[in-house]
Amino acid sequence: MQTATAKNLLILGDSLSAGYQLSVQNSWASLLAERWKKDPSGVQIINASISGDTAAQGLARLPALLEQYKPDWVLIELGANDGLRGFMPQDIEQELVKIITAVHNTGAKPLLMQIRIPPNYGKRYSDAFSAIYPRLAEQYKIQLIPFYMEKVVIKPEWMLQDGLHPNADAQPFIADWMDNQLKNAITQ
């Protein structure tokens, strides 16, 4: 286990950050963590993402993670599994609010990733789900990170057979994308 250091970015996510069906070292988060080890800024990435996690499951794990790592920033990449299971948008939003509040209460800065679900859930549900993220970013004055999957899903060669998860070929692109997004977010 790693111990707390001066500058940590904790990733609290699901399969999109855990690297579903990939070896850990091939996930975008691991690729980016390796890159940042060489960066003079000294920010260390701790990937606490678990495939299949809902917002409620992430919230349940969060207190121990905050205590152990004492992060400066927490990237919240959760909600996709809630949406794919058809959970009520207001319930998803309340779980995300609890996560944001818990992060704020430790003095860490939350970063929220926009999540979208496939359109087959219907326009009304998809729109209600997608609207959660910018609303919370505005309400809590936190950085909203664009959803990288919008750039990945248009390239079938970058997707697993399930059509939901990026494959190993997509991970370097995602690491580059997230490098730019996260560096901008943590320097603001």
> Among 14, 15, 53, 82, which one carries the catalytic annotation?
15
Instruction: Render 91-143 in DSSP notation, one character per residue.
Output: HHHHHHHHHHHHHHHTTPEEEEE-----GGG-HHHHHHHHHHHHHHHHHHT-E
Active-site residue, 162 included: yes
Q: How far is CA 81 from CA 34, 41, 43, 84, in A?
A: 27, 33, 29, 5
Active-site residue, 104 included: no
> Among 49, 104, 165, 176, which one carries the catalytic annotation?
165
Q: Return all residues near 125 (Cβ < 8 A) that are at least 6 apart.
A: 86, 89, 117
Active-site residue, 15 included: yes
Report helix, strand or coil for 163. coil
Distance (Å, rounded) from C-alpha 90 to C-alpha 88? 5
- Cα distance between the two ends of the chain: 29
Positions annotated as catalytic residues are: 15, 162, 165
